[in-house]
Chains A and B, each alone.
Chain A
Amino acid sequence: MVEWTDFERQTIAGIFAKIDYETTGATALARCLIVYPWTQRYFGNFGNLYNAGAIKINPLIAKHGTIIVHGLDRALKNLDNIKDAYTELSVLHSDKLHVDPDNFRLFSDCLTLTLAAQMGADFNADVQAAFQKFMLVVVSALKRQYH
Chain B
Amino acid sequence: MTLVIRMLTVYPQTKTYFAHWKDLSHGSAQIRKHGKIVINGIGEAVAKIDDLQKGLLTLSELHAFQLRVDPTNYKILSHCILVVLAITFPADFTPEAHVAVDKFLAAVSRSLSEKYR
A binding-site residues for B, Cβ under 8 Å: 30-31, 34-35, 52, 55-56, 109, 112-114, 116-121, 123, 125-126, 128-129, 132
Bound CA span A34–B99, Å: 7
The answer to whether B95 touches A128, judged by C-beta atoms less than 8 angstroms apart, is: no
Bound CA span A125–B15, Å: 14
The answer to whether A31 touches B9, judged by C-beta atoms less than 8 angstroms apart, is: no
Q: Please, how many residues of chain B have a CB less than 8 angstroms from a CB on the other chain?
A: 17
Q: For window 51-110 of chain B, which residues contact chain A by CB distance below 8 Å?
A: 79, 82-83, 86-87, 90, 93, 95-96, 98-99, 102
Residues of A within 8 A of B9 (CB): 125-126, 128-129
Taking CB as reference atom, which chain B residue is nearest A131? Answer: B10
Bound CA span A31–B93, Å: 11
User: Given contacts A109-B79, A112-B83, is CB(A34)–CB(B96) below 8 Å?
Assistant: yes
B binding-site residues for A, Cβ under 8 Å: 2, 5-6, 9-10, 79, 82-83, 86-87, 90, 93, 95-96, 98-99, 102
B interface secondary structure, majority: helix
Taking CB as reference atom, which chain A residue is nearest B103? Answer: A35
Taking CB as reference atom, which chain B residue is nearest A51? Answer: B96
The answer to whether A35 touches B99, judged by C-beta atoms less than 8 angstroms apart, is: yes
The answer to whether A34 touches B86, judged by C-beta atoms less than 8 angstroms apart, is: no
User: Given contacts A113-B82, A128-B6, A128-B10, is CB(A121)–CB(B99) below 8 Å?
Assistant: no
Bound CA span A65–B82, Å: 21
Residues of B within 8 A of A118 (CB): 90
Residues of A within 8 A of B5 (CB): 125
Q: Which 9 A-B pairs have the closest CB atoms?
A: A125-B9, A34-B95, A117-B90, A116-B86, A117-B86, A125-B6, A35-B99, A129-B10, A31-B95
Bound CA span A129–B10, Å: 4
Residues of A within 8 A of B6 (CB): 125, 128
Residues of A within 8 A of B95 (CB): 30-31, 34-35, 52, 55-56
